[in-house]
Amino acid sequence: MAFFRKHYHPPGTAPGSLQAHPERSEKPCRFRAIRFHKEHFEVAEDSEFVPDARATVPEGQVTWLHAQGQASGKQLAAIGDFFQLHALALEDVHNTGQRPKVEEYDDQLFLILALPHFADGEVSLHQVSLFLTTDTVLSFCDGPSDPFEPVLKRIQQNASKLRSRGSDYLLYALLDAVIDQGFPVLEAFGLELENIEEKIVDGGGRETLLRLHAMKRELILLRRMLWPQREVLNKLMGQENKLIKDETLVYLRDCYDHTIQIMDLLETYRDMSVSLVDIHLSSVSNRMNEIMRVLTVIATIFIPLTFVVGLYGMNFSNSASPWAMPELRWYYGYPLVWLVLIVITIGMLWFFRRRHWL
Amino acid sequence: MAFFRKHYHPPGTAPGSLQAHPERSEKPCRFRAIRFHKEHFEVAEDSEFVPDARATVPEGQVTWLHAQGQASGKQLAAIGDFFQLHALALEDVHNTGQRPKVEEYDDQLFLILALPHFADGEVSLHQVSLFLTTDTVLSFCDGPSDPFEPVLKRIQQNASKLRSRGSDYLLYALLDAVIDQGFPVLEAFGLELENIEEKIVDGGGRETLLRLHAMKRELILLRRMLWPQREVLNKLMGQENKLIKDETLVYLRDCYDHTIQIMDLLETYRDMSVSLVDIHLSSVSNRMNEIMRVLTVIATIFIPLTFVVGLYGMNFSNSASPWAMPELRWYYGYPLVWLVLIVITIGMLWFFRRRHWL
Amino acid sequence: MAFFRKHYHPPGTAPGSLQAHPERSEKPCRFRAIRFHKEHFEVAEDSEFVPDARATVPEGQVTWLHAQGQASGKQLAAIGDFFQLHALALEDVHNTGQRPKVEEYDDQLFLILALPHFADGEVSLHQVSLFLTTDTVLSFCDGPSDPFEPVLKRIQQNASKLRSRGSDYLLYALLDAVIDQGFPVLEAFGLELENIEEKIVDGGGRETLLRLHAMKRELILLRRMLWPQREVLNKLMGQENKLIKDETLVYLRDCYDHTIQIMDLLETYRDMSVSLVDIHLSSVSNRMNEIMRVLTVIATIFIPLTFVVGLYGMNFSNSASPWAMPELRWYYGYPLVWLVLIVITIGMLWFFRRRHWL
Amino acid sequence: MAFFRKHYHPPGTAPGSLQAHPERSEKPCRFRAIRFHKEHFEVAEDSEFVPDARATVPEGQVTWLHAQGQASGKQLAAIGDFFQLHALALEDVHNTGQRPKVEEYDDQLFLILALPHFADGEVSLHQVSLFLTTDTVLSFCDGPSDPFEPVLKRIQQNASKLRSRGSDYLLYALLDAVIDQGFPVLEAFGLELENIEEKIVDGGGRETLLRLHAMKRELILLRRMLWPQREVLNKLMGQENKLIKDETLVYLRDCYDHTIQIMDLLETYRDMSVSLVDIHLSSVSNRMNEIMRVLTVIATIFIPLTFVVGLYGMNFSNSASPWAMPELRWYYGYPLVWLVLIVITIGMLWFFRRRHWL
Amino acid sequence: MAFFRKHYHPPGTAPGSLQAHPERSEKPCRFRAIRFHKEHFEVAEDSEFVPDARATVPEGQVTWLHAQGQASGKQLAAIGDFFQLHALALEDVHNTGQRPKVEEYDDQLFLILALPHFADGEVSLHQVSLFLTTDTVLSFCDGPSDPFEPVLKRIQQNASKLRSRGSDYLLYALLDAVIDQGFPVLEAFGLELENIEEKIVDGGGRETLLRLHAMKRELILLRRMLWPQREVLNKLMGQENKLIKDETLVYLRDCYDHTIQIMDLLETYRDMSVSLVDIHLSSVSNRMNEIMRVLTVIATIFIPLTFVVGLYGMNFSNSASPWAMPELRWYYGYPLVWLVLIVITIGMLWFFRRRHWL
């Protein structure tokens, strides 16, 4: 994940512009239109846009239009025209990488959410945009896979609550699917973190540290994008718009609890990763100290020994003076030197042990 | 304790599902039904569920159903049906590892609490779920031992206040028993921490550090789960539901004070553990420095000595030149060398002492 | 000071219990009853409890009962009965180590405060509990010395404001005496900290660090107990109970300022102690670096010298070959070697100086 | 960027003074006056001041006076007189380096904003001051380049929304242009940071650290100046002045979102840079440890070898005693010594490998 | 600056006492009385107190009494009597080292401010106390120099706004003079900090670190005393007392902005100083590492060389065995040894270079 993820127009551009971003390859976008009421249900799955989705909506039916992938500026403009969406909201759908938020326009609600995704040991975030009007829900998901498959399946079951309730309950179901996606991602993340903890306690090396750093980085970015979702739900619950019925509020509260749990987990993971860095540093320095200590002790023992043997390598002429190293001519001179060497060695070992340096 | 402790259903699952969690072995769950009023008292202890607990409740009696262990989805569904509990609340009882919270439904209150437990030097947390209606209290505890034994004993005493007050006072008694469980756990934790402090001041090694790390980890998780309990009590005291009578409020305030004291302790422990890590690091590095200093001083003293004796080990031919190491042929050459060696040693020791390096 | 200081009853005990704490030796408790109005004043000092203190209180008189030491459960129960104190409040008086707080019951106020005490270079905290009713003040102090002596002396003076005002002004005077006790304690603490700062700047050793750690620990505990006093005074000033008259409020505001000043000082001390740890670490490592540098330089200079002299200690047979170390037979061979040694030494010293390593 | 950037008058100077700052070279200031309504549009570009800009403003026209560069005190006084601007506001325009803020006077709004600028790898900040009255917008920009060029171009287009709306919408357009300038600056900053991250992971040296420090410094200063802009927009949206019409509020909300996104990015960058310092430190110490370890191992292997060869350099006289180093006269003495040397070497290598020191 | 700066009376002293502080030498205090209205102006400068300052104040005149230095308890009591000041306020004037605050009594306002002062590279803080009544301002400044000289000069000018406005505008002018004193102090502080930054980047030593520590200490104390000034101005602007007229509020708002700018600067300086400590630590350790690396490399190169020359210093008897160091008798033995030595040296240098250790 890059640090800077937002798409934006050049400063000074008129608000509501939908210019193409040259650096982004416009992937094809798949649209799906669903219309249902209590007894009825129909899906129009197409790779093309379905503009007449709302053409003849009978009373009491809910229409759900889902766009998977990155819609082009033209497609967005067409949808915006048809459903009369606010230009600033469309701009936010277009410029992905937005911060989650809820925006209330006269007769419609606009939400941006972040959908976490975990693959190949790496976390990524995708933008999900939702529009709610009295009988329509529009959803745009800028990710590789559709997070709303289970919701679709639930709609297809006849006895489903989703069928008998209005568009606001459908919005809740979509919200819930996006937010709950955080749990498996964070569970995988937590397992990875415990994994790294084990390696670090066992004295992991440089790669472990870099992996930990990468995870801290992902945590920072996750926090930045998931933190505002809490506020989104808070605002959603507190607003007095008639678009969300009172009986749906208790479900949104449940959703809100989930966002808090996710933030709690992120906080915990952050604390853990900080703590792991400490452990790593101290275990690296511990290990290093141990090595240096043993090696230095070895060197220190041999240095006096080398001095002693050097001493008797001196070439003082024993013919010139009886004071010139008479030890060299003693009968037990050489064994005595060995005795001295052994005594020094044992003495130093004893000294080091007593001081707990070995 | 694992970082990620929550059980959850796959994203997109319909709210209120009670599917079994494959990875969790469903332990048998013991139920106990108590019914009492001022003069009367009866207990039905059974390993089977007691569905007719409330069948014929006379006016003024309080029914308390306690489930110790992990109830199966089927059992929960049956209880939920019987007592008309909210589906989302039941899901939270089922998916243990929830964050403590209080939820207010039309004519019932739902609370989740975290019960700390200390055994074998390790802290664990279990979920306690409580339901309150006008004449009934339901409690679910997902732990190895029943925290409500003392409350049961108090009910069995005839003069007990518990008998003469309503279900809300019973709820308070259960709440109080769960929250006060924090004190012995934190006392044991504090003793352990003081223990570690002593070891660290005495220069503890790697295991002490890992133990301290484990305790910091436990503190982080304790904090995460106990912090929201404060909010739970705050909400409970502030709500305008008629389920909790005014005369019980002063007791809840006492309970609230206890949660604050527990949070205070956790904060203090956290500050202490951070401080202990610092002490540990500095005492490890102090120890290391001391070792290195002494060893390096030893080496440094011997290095010039070794140079001197090496000097006189050179084989300059004294036959070729009078300049070739005449010292070797001096009468007092060898004693002079010893003098030089001793002077160097004493000089360096004096130098190191003066600089406080020894 | 231990980390965990609170006395508590086993979880599940009925609220308001006054059981003895087996681990605490019940010290004898001295009671003192004072009754005064504008013109009149009488003291009954006794080591026994004075139950009839309020027996015949004429209109306009204020009764102050002070208990110095740890009252037994029985004594507390008797006092509670006599003055009709709330059972939960009495329990808090009994279980010392409570967090400062203010509790408002129907016609009485209950306050818990923490009294700091500095002796032998160590800070300790004692619990002061105060009850206020319209004409009575009860005070319990669980410490070695009576903090209210100066207040008693002021009452004994005829012209004193204390005599002419009601029980709420007496409460203020007691509060003020407890809170202002913080200033001499923090002044002594600050002097100690400046003392340590000086030692550290001069390069203090391990004991200085442990002393600093102990002070940080005391700061953490002081903060934990003194922080809530601010809130206590805030609540006291904000409450609408008629027990505290409007003309006393300005004095409480003064008291509140003092608690803020104390918290400010604690914050400052905390910042200072953090900063001192940094200084200590960096000065220890500076010192160590200096030692290692000098020693390593010495070793590094001698190592090439030792190589050179070792070179001419080789036993190449000059009889076998004219190539075998002809230097040994040169006329000025030995002086030349000395020249080489001196040149190497000076060269390295020059090199190290130029690089500012010496 | 310097730490202290604010221009100020000497303490005690009368408020509203416009004295010249001696240390600042007064650069020439270019003025531009634009007057437009729905169908009409005219520009007066001049290096001289245009005092009669508002002389004959017909109803429904908007006048925009822009000053690029640092206006002199005299010029400001003239403009202030003409448009009846508040003296304190003019002083703030004059003393650049102000904190962003919004100030509401009777019939005019005064805003200060900070315009970030990125050139040659360095971020700088310039002050933009804006005045809004019912039909006039004044803008002062103290930077090298004009940030309002795109807005001018949009005005020049006939179909532009800017032309058909009032002065408040123009103010929004200017605000938006200033705030959105943050995105390219932060994008460049983020790329630079990722760049540095790569270098650090590869083990960057001292310059990388100094560059990182410089970026942290820039971040601190950016944060200090951009943080209050959020508050500025918040106040602007919340105020009840009639100067900003309701239909412009939704655009200001969009602007507010952008300031939050910018703060989010700054937070993320800060967390990242802290994390990068950690990585750098640990990778430097890792590298150092590795070097020291290998070198110490080499030294440690040779030290016993040197001892052995020193041993047989001793001059014990084999004529004086058969105990005097008989090894020297053994037939296979020398090969044996080599064997010993090789065994020691291999043994130590095996020992070091087994302990993972190599 | 000492950590603990507050003067206080012994705990339990009656409120409003003005006892002398034995440890403080009572410096003489200079008083100055000014009386002015629009057309008129008179000053009575005297080292003695001027009690009849307000004796015959005609309507519409403002009296300003300024006391420079530390007034004695007796003088304060006399002033307090004369102007009917509150006893608690007088105590705060007497016990200098108070936290800035604003206190509102019935018909007077009492303010305490902190006046920063920079001299000889050190920051000090002095207490300024201000009283405001409808037609009088009293100011007490406990510092070496009078901060209100410029205000006096402005009053002496006939056209001055100060002359035509009331006592509240005079209070603002004094406030402004005290608060703006922060700018030159902080500018000097910032320059000093940039100075230190330069030294540290160049690798400054121990004194630089101690200087930085001293500045951090000063920052902590400045923050502690200047932070509450923001709150003081906030309260002043929010209060409903009639003492401050509405037209003065806009000037107070300007003052408030200045306190925020000062806090912002202090925050920035704090962040910078933290960052500088990091830089210092890492540059010290970098330097150390570099030294150790080079020295260790030198030692490591010579150690094998010394081994080789030691090898040929062994005294194996070539008469006893043809295996005994035949190299010594080879014709090119000695040059070969030199070849070996050179090869080892070059090999190691190449190895170290390749690994970037040199």
| Residue from the list A154, A191, A299 with its beta carbon closest to the beta carbon of B299 | A299
Average confidence score pLDDT of chain D: 86
Inter-chain CB pairs, D–E, below 8 Å: 170
pLDDT at C50 over 70: no
How distant is the Cα of C77 from the closest Cα of chain E, in angstroms?
A: 30
Cβ <8 Å between E4 and C149: no
CA distance C290 to C111: 57
Measure the CA–CA gap between E259 and E267, rounded to whole angstroms.
12
> pLDDT band at D196, cuts 50/70/90?
very high
| B281 — pLDDT class (breaks 50, 70, 90) | confident
DSSP at B189: H
Distance from CA of E147 to the nearest CA of C (A): 26
Given a contact cutoff of 8 angstroms between Cβ atoms, the answer to whether A281 and D282 are in contact is yes
Contacts of B103 in chain A (CB under 8 A): 253
Q: Tokens standing for D193?
A: 């940071």
- Can you state the angle between helices A246-311 and A333-354, rounded to 10 degrees? 160
- Number of CB atoms found within 10 A of residue A152's CB: 17
Q: What is the model's pLDDT at position B57?
A: 59
Within 8 A of A151 by CB-CB distance, chain B residues are 12
- C-alpha span between C229 and C181 (Å, rounded): 13
pLDDT at A51 over 60: no
Least Cα separation, residue C172 to chain E (angstroms):
10
- In whole angstroms, what is the distance from residue C53 CA to residue E170 CA? 57
> Which is more confidently placed, B287 or E103?
E103
Other chains touching B, judged by 3 or more CB pairs under 8 Å: A, C
Q: Cα D127 vs. chain centroid, distance in angstroms?
A: 15
Q: Do E87 and E15 contact (CB within 8 A), yes or no?
A: yes
Decide the pairing of beta strands B101-105 and B122-132: unpaired
Q: Compare B241 and D141 and report the one with higher pLDDT.
A: D141
DSSP H stretches of helix in C23-110: 73-83, 87-94
Using the predicted structure, report yes or no on whether residue D51 has a pLDDT greater than 60. Answer: no
Query: How far is CA A262 from its chain centroid?
Result: 12
- Does residue E48 carry a pLDDT above 70? no
Residue in chain B nearest C9 by alpha carbon: B180
Amino acid identity, residue A333?
A: G
Rg (CA), chain D: 36
Which two three-digit tokens encode residue A348?
A: 């130093």
Cβ separation C3–B272 shorter than 8 A: yes
Residue E182 confidence (pLDDT): 93
In chain C the domains, ranked by start, together with CATH numbers, are 30-50+60-283 (3.30.460.20), 288-354 (no CATH)
Alpha carbon dihedral B13, B19, B24, B25, in 10-degree steps, equals: -170
Determine what percent of chain E falls in helix, strand and coil, rounding each to the nearest 5.
55, 15, 30
The alpha carbon of residue A280 is apart from the nearest alpha carbon of chain D, in Å, by 10
Which of D157, D300, D354 to probe the A interface (max A CBs under 10 A)?
A: D300
Contacts of E333 in chain C (CB under 8 A): 316-317, 320-321, 323-324
pLDDT value at residue B48: 54
Q: Is the pLDDT assigned to residue B47 strictly greater than 70?
A: no
- Read off the pLDDT of residues D201-221 as tens digits, 9 standing for 90 and up: 887 777 888 899 899 989 988
Residue A56 has pLDDT above 80, yes or no: no
Q: What is the nearest CA distance from A188 to chain B, expressed in angstroms? A: 9
User: CA nearest E289 in C: which residue?
Assistant: C289
Query: Does B217 contact A191 at a Cβ distance shorter than 8 Å?
Result: no
The number of residues making up chain D comes to 358
pLDDT per residue over C94-150, tens digit each? Answer: 998 899 999 988 788 999 999 999 888 788 899 999 999 888 999 999 888 899 999
Q: Are B79 and B139 in contact (CB under 8 A)?
A: no
d(C-alpha D112, C-alpha D93), whole Å:
8
**Buried (b) or exposed (e) across B103-131, using 16+ Cβ within 10 A?**
bbbeebbbbbbbbbbbeeeebbbbbbbbb
Nearby residues of C194 by Cβ (< 8 Å), 6 or more positions away? E2, E3
Among E2, E105, E310, select the one facing C310 at the smallest CB separation. E310
In the predicted structure, residue D54 carries a pLDDT above the cut 60: no
Which of residues A26 and B24 earns the better pLDDT score? B24
pLDDT band at E25 (very low <50, low <70, confident <90, very high): low
| Nearest residue to A224 (alpha-carbon basis) of A116, A94, A341, A106 | A116
Which of C111, C210, C213 is most worth mutating to test chain B (most B CB atoms within 10 A of its CB)? C213
Cα nearest neighbour of A282 on chain D? D282
Would the pLDDT of E47 be above 70? no
User: Which residue did the predictor score with more confidence, A248 or B317?
Assistant: A248
CB contact under 8 A, C220 and B271: yes
CA distance A255 to chain D (A): 24
Q: Mean pLDDT throughout C81-104?
A: 91
Which residues in chain E are contacts of D214 at CB distance < 8 A?
Answer: none
Q: Chains C and E: how many Cβ contacts under 8 Å?
A: 170
Instruction: Label residue B52 by pLDDT band (50, 70, 90).
Output: low
Residues in D closer than 8 angstroms to A305, CB to CB, are 307
Rg (alpha carbons) of chain C, rounded to whole number:
36
Residue C312: its pLDDT value, please? 87
Q: Which residues of C touch B161 (CB under 8 A)?
A: 14
β-pair type (E136-141, E122-132): antiparallel
Lowest mean pLDDT among B95-99, B244-248, C256-260, E45-49: E45-49
CB contact (8 A) between residue E264 and residue D332: no
Mean pLDDT of A213-218: 90
Chain B nearest-CA distance from A23, in A, is: 33
Over pLDDT 70: what percentage of chain E? 94
Q: Computed from CA positions of residues E323, E329, E331, E333, in that sequence, does the dihedral angle turn out positive or negative?
A: positive
Express as a percent the part of chain D with pLDDT over 90.
Answer: 36
Instruction: Quote the distance between the C-alpha of residue D250 and its chain's center.
Output: 29
CB-nearest to B288 from A151, A272, A289 is A289
Instruction: Find the residue in D nearest to E189 (Cα).
Output: D4
* Helical residues (DSSP H) of chain B, grouped into ranges: 73-83, 87-94, 149-156, 161-164, 167-180, 182-201, 206-238, 246-311, 333-354
Q: What is the mean pLDDT of residues C9-26?
A: 79
pLDDT, position E343: 95
Does E320 score more than 80 pLDDT? Answer: no
- Asked if A285 and B284 come within 8 Å (Cβ–Cβ), the reply is yes
pLDDT band of residue B151 (cuts 50, 70, 90) is: very high
Q: Bigger pLDDT: E37 or B350? A: B350
Q: What percent of chain C has pLDDT over 70?
A: 94
Question: What pLDDT score does D280 carry?
Answer: 86
Taking contacts as CB-CB distances below 8 angstroms, the residues of chain D near A280 are 282
A314 → closest Cβ in B206, B224, B312:
B312
Q: Is the pLDDT of residue D53 over 60?
A: no
Measured CA distances, D117 to A8, A10, D95, D196 (Å):
17, 14, 20, 20
Closest CA relative to residue A116, chosen from A66, A175, A181, A172: A181
Q: Mean pLDDT check: name the lowest of A296-300, D110-114, D317-321, E95-99.
A: D317-321
Interval A36-42 mean pLDDT: 83
Minimal-distance CA residue of chain E relative to C153: E12
Q: What percent of chain A has pLDDT over 90?
A: 36
Nearest CB partner across the interface for C268, out of E3, E292, E298? E3
pLDDT averaged over chain E?
86
What is the spatial distance between Cα D65 and Cα D136, in angstroms, rounded to a whole number?
A: 8
Q: What is the DSSP letter of C52?
A: G
Q: How far is CA D333 from the centre of its chain?
A: 73
Q: How far is E148 from chain D (nearest CA, A)?
A: 7
Which among D12, D103, D334 is the nearest to E316, CB-wise?
D334
